[in-house]
Amino acid sequence: MKQHRIFTWASAICAILLFCSHSLPVQANSAAVYWQGASSIGVITSDDDCPIEVKSETLTLQIPEFPQTHYDTLEEFLAYSGQVSAEYMFYNPTDSTVTVRLLFPFGATPDYGVLYDSTHGESLYNSDTDKFTITVDGKEVEKSIRYSLTDYNDPFDLSTDLPRLHDGFVQDDFYAPDLPVTRYTFSIRDVDTDTYSAATIAWDMNSYDGATKIYWPDLSGLHTQEDGSLRITGWADTANSLTQYAIGAPLETLPEWKFYQNGGVMDQEEIPGTAVLLTTETMTFQDFALSGWSESSGVSDTDWYNAVVEELRSDDFEASHDLVFLSRYAQNFSGCLMRWYDYTMTLAPGETLTNLVTAPLYPSIQSDYEPPIYEYTYLLSPAQTWSRFGDLQIHLQTPYALIESSLEGFQKDTEGYYLSLEGLPERELVVTLSASDQPTRPLIQGYGIYLLSGIIAAIVLFSLCLFLFMRICKHRGSSRK
């Protein structure tokens, strides 16, 4: 009878565990659930002493549809109609005519956008801006689209991002257009790839005096040795050549290449192999920096060159070992170029002009909600650089539900939502929309459900075994008595 009760208790626990494992929401596929959008910033001036005032701004986010998480063709991507328009009323309070240069940064192309035209074989960085205009008092003005290096991991910062725009090649103490760059091409031979299909080639690199920066496009690993040298490794691919660049002074001696077993970098794992120098070519740093650039991309050679220099400057590792990675450069800066409208406007003494800027609007997408949620960001803080900023009207023209907002006070109207503010708020504008006013998120996503189920099962099984063991011991003790 006691054994029957134990069996019944264990069966109940197993049934509960089975029920829980099936009742928890599951998203078992490994597909991405988050896509990065692009923040818009608003008009700023490149002149620190600009006297122009902003009497008012009307900001309109037009969101008649949500973007897809993937586009197969450029035509499909360009059909997306979300946009932001910012209408400014500028006032010149001085007794002099003022010509002001204006910049409107509106983020990089989102990672769900089409950046490559497979039909024509070229990269596209401004294909989605042709349908947008800038007007002053209703008349379209000429604009150019500028680019600067950016990183999604770092939020926009006016003091950091604005100095990255230059009208010519940026001046640097080391990198200069005529700086020599030497490209070394090696052939990898005598490696037993049948036995070691993932053999590794390596070079123990010592610190340098700063006269040369080493760039190895196919570098795959780094290992600091006991003597302080850096072992840099790559795959020993006998089917393809190995290319390495010396930016600055050429190498005084060629690398002493060594070969190791599959992915191994320890001395005792060394295997036979040779790397034979095939060619040595010299170019200028300007040629090197522009090797991935194409005029058809829409990016100027100046902006591209400056983005390369900026990435080299931001490479923290080069300070100690003169090794540079250039991962963004290697991928043609795909999704890493901040886009800016660049235009000028002239105001007579005491004149007020209305400036309307329109730009594409891309949200970040989180698809692990049902239905998905879309977060739109418009940075307001850079507008604090104006000498005076008046009223701000914000309109969300959308049929969708407003789930969250960083700014309180949005009211619903026939077109969507609106908010009226006196002056600039202290926070940025971040709004989250969804097709439902109550989107739900699974409690457990991905393969976490299986991990959690395994942990629960192990705990329950251990408890059950312990319980059975104690009951059996107690039963035996009672029998002996």
Distance of alpha carbon 161 from alpha carbon 104, whole angstroms: 12
Share of the chain above pLDDT 70, in %: 78
Rounded average pLDDT over 164-184: 95
Asked if 124 contacts 113 with a C-beta cutoff of 8 angstroms, the reply is: no
Residue 444 to residues 29, 217, 330, 373, 452: CA-CA distances in angstroms? 12, 39, 36, 17, 9
Rounded average pLDDT over 25-54: 62
Going across the sheet that includes 242-248, the strands are 274-284, 180-189, 242-248, 212-215, 323-324
- Residues whose CB is less than 8 angstroms from the CB of residue 107 and which lie 6 or more positions away in sequence, other chains included: 37, 38, 39, 40, 41, 150, 338, 339, 362
Residue 365 has pLDDT above 80, yes or no: yes
175 found inside a domain: no
| pLDDT band with cut points at 50, 70 and 90 for residue 471 | low
Q: Let me know whether 352 and 277 are in one domain.
A: no
249 found inside a domain: yes
> What is the tally of structural domains in the chain?
3
Specify the higher pLDDT residue, 285 or 114.
285
Distance of alpha carbon 90 from alpha carbon 354, whole angstroms: 6
301 found inside a domain: yes
| pLDDT band with cut points at 50, 70 and 90 for residue 40 | low
428 found inside a domain: yes
Residue 158 has pLDDT above 50, yes or no: yes
Last residue of one domain, picked from the residues 330, 353, 376: 330
Residue 407 has pLDDT above 60, yes or no: yes
Report the range of poorest mean pLDDT among 242-256, 281-295, 307-321, 364-378: 307-321
Going across the sheet that includes 200-205, the strands are 221-224, 230-235, 200-205, 258-260, 270-271
Specify the higher pLDDT residue, 121 or 188.
188
Secondary-structure percent of the chain, ordered helix, strand, coil, rounded to 5: 20, 35, 45
User: Beta strands 389-397 and 53-62: pairing type?
Assistant: parallel
Last residue of one domain, picked from the residues 269, 298, 330: 330
pLDDT at 288: 97
Q: Which of 281, 296, 328 is nearest to 309 (CA)?
A: 328
- Residues whose CB is less than 8 angstroms from the CB of residue 26 and which lie 6 or more positions away in sequence, other chains included: 442, 444, 449
Kindly report the length of the chain: 481
Report the range of poorest mean pLDDT among 4-18, 363-377, 400-414, 444-458: 4-18
Please give the mean pLDDT across all residues of the chain: 83
Q: Let me know whether 257 and 304 are in one domain.
A: yes
> Which residue's entry shows tokens 């000498």?
387
In tens, the pLDDT along 16-36 reads 333 333 333 333 333 456 555
Specify the higher pLDDT residue, 452 or 226.
226
Residue 69 has pLDDT above 60, yes or no: yes
Q: What is the distance between the terminal CA atoms of the chain, rounded to a whole angstrom?
A: 19
Q: Let me know whether 301 and 401 are in one domain.
A: no
Rounded average pLDDT over 402-424: 95
Q: Let me know whether 398 and 478 are in one domain.
A: no
Q: Let me know whether 125 and 240 are in one domain.
A: no
Residue 367 has pLDDT above 70, yes or no: yes
472 membership: H or E segment, kind and range: helix 448-480
User: Beta strands 429-434 and 401-405: pairing type?
Assistant: antiparallel
pLDDT at 7: 42
In tens, the pLDDT along 226-271 reads 877 788 999 998 889 999 999 999 999 999 999 998 877 766 688 9
Q: Let me know whether 265 and 240 are in one domain.
A: yes
Distance of alpha carbon 46 from alpha carbon 148, whole angstroms: 15
Distance of alpha carbon 278 from alpha carbon 242, whole angstroms: 10
Evaluated on CA atoms 163, 164, 170, 174, the torsion sign reads positive
320 found inside a domain: yes
pLDDT at 111: 79
pLDDT at 467: 64
Residue 334 has pLDDT above 90, yes or no: no
Specify the higher pLDDT residue, 24 or 45.
45
Q: Which of 406, 378, 230, 243 is nearest to 318 (CA)?
A: 230
21 found inside a domain: no
Q: Let me know whether 289 and 401 are in one domain.
A: no
pTM over 0.85: no
Q: Let me know whether 342 and 371 are in one domain.
A: yes
Q: Let me know whether 208 and 317 are in one domain.
A: yes
Distance of alpha carbon 224 from alpha carbon 231, whole angstroms: 6
pLDDT at 155: 73
Q: Is 301 exposed, middle or buried (0-12, 13-18, 19+ CB in 10 A)?
A: middle
Task: Using only the alpha carbons of the chain, give its radius of gyration.
Answer: 30
Single-letter amino acid code for the residue at 439: P
Q: Let me know whether 144 and 263 are in one domain.
A: no
Specify the higher pLDDT residue, 208 or 100.
100
Q: Where are the alpha helices (DSSP H) in 210-366?
A: 285-289, 301-313, 318-321, 327-330
In tens, the pLDDT along 372-381 reads 999 999 988 8
Report the range of poorest mean pLDDT among 345-359, 396-410, 466-480: 466-480
Rounded average pLDDT over 57-75: 92
Residue 303 to residues 57, 172, 307, 372: CA-CA distances in angstroms? 30, 15, 6, 36
Last residue of one domain, picked from the residues 305, 330, 355: 330
Report the range of poorest mean pLDDT among 141-150, 187-196, 278-287, 468-477: 468-477
Distance of alpha carbon 237 from alpha carbon 429, whole angstroms: 50
pLDDT at 469: 61
Q: Let me know whether 184 and 326 are in one domain.
A: yes
User: CATH code at 373?
Assistant: 2.60.40.3680
31 found inside a domain: no
Residues forming beta bridges with residue 338, ordered by sequence position: 148
Q: Which residue range is the domain that position 468 belongs to?
A: 1-12+446-481
pLDDT at 477: 56
Q: Let me know whether 46 and 91 are in one domain.
A: yes
439 found inside a domain: no
Torsion of CA 421, 38, 136, 411, to 10 degrees: -30
